Structure 1
Amino acid sequence: MRFQRLVILTGAGISAESGIPTFRDPGGLWERYSLEEVATPEGFRRNPRLVHEFYNARRRDLLRVRPNPAHRALAELERRFPGEVLLVTQNVDDLHERAGSKRVLHIHGELLKVRCEACGGIFREEGEVFPETPCPACGKTGGLRPHVVWFGEEPFYLPEVYEALLSCDLFVAIGTSGTVWPAAGFVEVARRAGAHCVEINLKPAENAHLFQEHRYGPASREVPKWVEEILREGR
């Protein structure tokens, strides 16, 4: 079967093999940190220094790791596939871009960016940020926050994502838990629109029953295999 329009959703599982900890798995970030303290607008208002310190540490960790074969395979797919490929990621890391992917929508934001709540400016940031750090544009202090989507906030780019889901003929979810909404519902939208839906995961997700095809194993092994098959069929 030849496909023309692909939408690929990636989650924490694709970056775990690069050394980035997941949130919900045993030993994940939510076992070590309270999400109410570091991943909500209320937590940020209560203790902005704690939140900045949490994201400063995550930023340092991200800059130490590299893309793995799964990231590189998806970048190769984008380069060589004769149709359209849209990569939608729940991950706030930049490993897809470092691997070479160009068309990426970060629906949960980006760790290497900060946003000013005073002027709305968005800036790349690889270093440390504190409550007293001034905005590069307006100069206000106390207004910078991580450019990530916290619990209770709406993900970015949803209109673009839903438009792509309604027109795609292949939807693939890689390394997702199937528990985080609205991303967990993307497969239903794509399937109702007639797309073939594939799950590539270490183990079945909570919404695995909604996919017509399943491939289980490490992303660094399964994603390159799947990409090669798709490229072979598209020739």
Structure 2
Amino acid sequence: MSKNNIKEIIKEGLNRSRRNNVTFLTGAGVSSASGIPTYRGSDGIWIKGTKFYKPESFGTFKHFKNNPDEVWQYTFFRKKMFAEALPNESHYDLVAIENILKERFQLITQNIDNLHQRAGSKNIFEIHGNLREMRCSDECSKEVYEIPSKISFKDYDEDLTTEEKELLVCPQCDKVTRPNILWFDEYYNERNFKIHTTLKIAKNTSLMIILGSSGATNLPNSLVQQTIKYGGSVIDVNMEDNNFTENFKDKKRFYSYRGTVSEFLKDFLNEI
């Protein structure tokens, strides 16, 4: 689709007086410019795996139950990767857009790397959780805890110490805790992953913009479907076709923008 047509769609979405949220749905492609690997790209985590795990197994609760120490070790390796990364231009452009649109701005992210927050975004809904928090793996309560900062970041082959493992025990039942993230064999819920809140946001969205997500999980597709169902428009910003394209290519209010996230956001800022 041409840039002129995209501009018209943006103008239409911005000028609606009802159900006029402007919602950004972000995936790993937004953080790739910060040096964080994507999940399903040619170099993605789920394509290549890791030194210890294969993609089909390590991203599951079943694997965690059998290998909690290994999964926690890998978690602290990823936390190190995230801490060493810096927010990129697209993260800061989204902050600028939020400052202009104010309460109309909604940011729904699949990313667990905390880069949106570090850039300064405020109105964020993390539908895949984050690596700041942990909760009881036995779900003995609804409590969510901060991951202890006393535990050092890890290299690939660096194990947790006995003292560090003790810090990862649920304070209420003494079972091992788990990262507060969504694994492949789990389901979205409201408590941890804001399924109902984000569906309501999508229902009241005049313009949804997908940035760097392949649409390989259920809730992002449901959000797009909800926006279109209630009269909103969706622009998929990606370098190539993906699951969203396949699922919504026949919908009248679904549009594709093939280019970089950074390029699109600069154009969007110029429009508003």
TM over 0.5: yes
- Whether the 8 Å CA contact 2:228–2:254 is kept in 1: the answer is no
- Which has the higher mean CA deviation after the structures are superposed, 110-119 or 155-164? 110-119
Question: Structure 2: how far apart are the matches of 1:175 and 1:167?
Answer: 22
- Whether the 8 Å CA contact 1:6–1:170 is kept in 2: the answer is yes
Superposition map of 1:152-167 within 5 A: 152-155=185-188, 156-167=193-204
Question: Structure 2: how far apart are the matches of 1:37 and 1:179?
Answer: 17
The match for 1:63 is 83
- In the superposition, relative to structure 1, how do residues 82 and 47 fare at CA in structure 2: closer, same or farther (>3 Å)? closer
Offset at residue 12 of structure 1 (A): 0.8
The answer to whether 1:138 aligns with 2:171 is yes
Choose the corresponding residue for 1:179, options 216, 221, 237.
Answer: 216
Offset at residue 116 of structure 1 (A): 2.6
Question: Structure 2: how far apart are the matches of 1:136 and 1:53?
Answer: 14
- Whether the 8 Å CA contact 2:26–2:213 is kept in 1: the answer is yes
Provide the aligned length of Structure 1 versus Structure 2: 230
SS at match of 1:53: helix
The match for 1:123 is 145
Question: Structure 2: how far apart are the matches of 1:135 and 1:54?
Answer: 14
Choose the corresponding residue for 2:237, options 192, 200, 209.
Answer: 200
| Paired AA for residue 176 in structure 1 | S
Q: TM-score, length-normalised on structure 2?
A: 0.77
The answer to whether 1:151 aligns with 2:193 is no
| Paired AA for residue 18 in structure 1 | S
| Paired AA for residue 214 in structure 1 | S
Offset at residue 123 of structure 1 (A): 2.5
Question: Structure 2: how far apart are the matches of 1:200 and 1:104?
Answer: 19
**What fraction of aligned residue pairs are identical, expressed as a percent?**
27
The match for 1:17 is 33
- Whether the 8 Å CA contact 1:200–1:223 is kept in 2: the answer is no
Choose the corresponding residue for 1:34, options 54, 61, 65.
Answer: 54
> C-alpha root-mean-square deviation of aligned residues, in Å?
2.2
CA deviation map 1:174-232 (0-9, x unaligned): 10112221212321211111001111112222222245332222222322322332x2x
The match for 2:5 is none
Greater Cα radius of gyration, structure 1 or 2: 2
Question: Structure 1: how far apart are the matches of 2:199 and 2:165?
Answer: 38
Question: Structure 2: how far apart are the matches of 1:206 and 1:38?
Answer: 23
| Paired AA for residue 227 in structure 1 | L
The match for 2:265 is 223
- Give 5+ residue unaligned stretches, structure 2: 1-11, 154-159
| Paired AA for residue 116 in structure 1 | C
Offset at residue 140 of structure 1 (A): 5.5
- Whether the 8 Å CA contact 1:14–1:174 is kept in 2: the answer is yes
- In the superposition, relative to structure 1, how do residues 133 and 195 fare at CA in structure 2: closer, same or farther (>3 Å)? same
Question: Structure 2: how far apart are the matches of 1:162 and 1:114?
Answer: 25
Question: Structure 2: how far apart are the matches of 1:53 and 1:136?
Answer: 14
The answer to whether 1:45 aligns with 2:65 is yes
- Whether the 8 Å CA contact 1:20–1:62 is kept in 2: the answer is yes
- Whether the 8 Å CA contact 2:170–2:176 is kept in 1: the answer is no
- Which has the higher mean CA deviation after the structures are superposed, 29-38 or 129-138? 129-138
- Whether the 8 Å CA contact 1:134–1:141 is kept in 2: the answer is no
SS at match of 2:22: strand
Offset at residue 136 of structure 1 (A): 7.7
